[in-house]
Amino acid sequence: MKISLFKFLLKQLYLLFIGLEKKTKNAADQAAVDTMRNELNKIDMKGKIVIGEGELDEAPMLYIGETVGTNNGPELDIAVDPLEGTNFAANNLPGALSVISIAEKSNLFNAPETYMNKISANVKDHDIIDLDYPIKKNIYNLAEFKNKKPSDLTVCLLDRPRHKNIIEELKNLNVNLKLISDGDVSGALLVTEQKHNIDLFLGIGGGPEGVLAASALDAFGCFFQCRFLFDTENDKLRAKKMGITNLEKKYDLKEIITGDSIFCATGITSGDLVSGIDIKNNNFKSETLITHKSTGLKKIIQKTQKV
C-alpha cells in the first residue's frame, strides 16, 4: 500500500473522556465517531467505509458507503469500529478499543451490519478446525494438532444465552473457558500469540468485528472462517443489494481480506490486548496494536502526546 502506516497510526482515536465522564455509552460512542471521522477526513485518500456502524439513514455514525478523506490520493476501503466496548468505556471497565482496518479498493468484504458465526485459531492448515465441524471434533482435532489434552485447551467466546449449549458441551469436554462480556475483536485476536493462552475463539458475534479481526489475523497467519447470519428479510434484502447471492456461504479468511491490509487497535481502557489511555501531568500515553501484512509488521506501539 502506498499510504504510510504511521499516518494512520497517528490518526487513531485517543480521547473518549467526554463519554467516560458522563458514564453514558452513547456519549462515548458519539465522541469516538466524531473524532475518527474528523481525522479520516484530513487524510489524502478517496476512502469508503465498507464496514461501519449502520447505513446512511443511521448517520451521524460512520455508516456503510460513507466517503471519507480529501478525495485525493489512493482509493481505499475502510472498516471501522470507533468504539468497541461502549459499556466498558462509559463505565471505565477494561477492554474498550478503537479499531480500524484499511485496504486497497475492493479488498475488504462489503456486507451490511449483521451477526456472524465465526471461528479462529493459530493454525495454518485447513481441516484441523472448521465452522461446520461439531464442537467435539474441533476440540479433539486442535488438541491433537497442539499435542495437548482437551483439558489443556482454552476456548474464548462471548458469554451470551445463544452460546449456552456450546458452553455446556465445552464444559463436558473439560475444556477451559474464557467467557467475555463484550469485545469480540480482541477476543478473536487472543489466539494470535501464546502469551494470551487462548487456543480457540468461536461463536456468534458482530459481523463488522469479524471483518476487523480477520485483517489482523491475516497478518499473524491465523485461521479464520465465518458465515454471516441474515435473520430478517430486511437483512437479506440489503445483502442482495450488496451483491451477496449465497446467504448461507461459509467464508475463509482470504475471501474476507484480499491482499494487503493495515490494522490498528488503540486501547481506550486497558484490556488483554493493549493498555488503555494513561493521563499524567497533562500528557496522555496510548498503546496501539498495529499490523501490516505485506511487511510482516505486528507490533504494539506506544505514543505520548500533550492533552
CATH of the domain at 104: 3.30.540.10
Average of per-residue pLDDT values in the chain: 87
- Total domains, the chain: 2
CATH number for 136 = 3.40.190.90
Mean per-residue pLDDT, 268-283: 87
Tell me: do 128 and 250 sit in the same domain.
yes
What does the pLDDT look like over 146-203, one tens digit per residue? 999 999 999 999 999 999 999 999 999 999 999 999 888 999 999 999 999 999 999 9
Tell me: do 205 and 91 sit in the same domain.
no
Tell me: do 131 and 218 sit in the same domain.
yes
Owning domain of residue 26: 5-108+261-306
pLDDT score of 244 more than 50 = yes
Tell me: do 151 and 169 sit in the same domain.
yes
**pTM of the entire structure?**
0.89
d(CA 214, CA 51): 12
Nearest Cα to Cα of residue 48 among 29, 73, 24, 76 = 76
Other Cβ atoms within 10 Å of 5 Cβ, number: 18
Torsion-angle region of 47 (φ positive above 0: left; ψ -120 to 50: alpha; else: beta): beta
How much of the chain, in percent, has pLDDT values that exceed 70?
90
**pLDDT at position 175, please?**
98
**pLDDT at position 274, please?**
93
Tell me: do 136 and 68 sit in the same domain.
no
What does the pLDDT look like over 103-142, one tens digit per residue? 999 999 987 788 999 999 999 888 999 999 999 999 999 9
Mean per-residue pLDDT, 11-33: 58
pLDDT score of 59 more than 60 = no
Question: Where a domain ends, among 256, 274, 296?
Answer: 256
Tell me: do 23 and 42 sit in the same domain.
yes
Q: Which residue reads 487513531 in cell numbers?
A: 12
Nearest Cα to Cα of residue 41 among 65, 66, 58 = 66
CA 287 to chain centre: 16
Tell me: do 123 and 240 sit in the same domain.
yes
**pLDDT at position 3, please?**
47
**pLDDT at position 195, please?**
94
Tell me: do 131 and 191 sit in the same domain.
yes
Question: Where a domain ends, among 236, 256, 276?
Answer: 256
> How does DSSP assign 248-305, residue by residue?
T--EEHHHHB-S--EEEEEESS--SSS---EEETTEEEEEEEEEEGGGTEEEEEEEEE
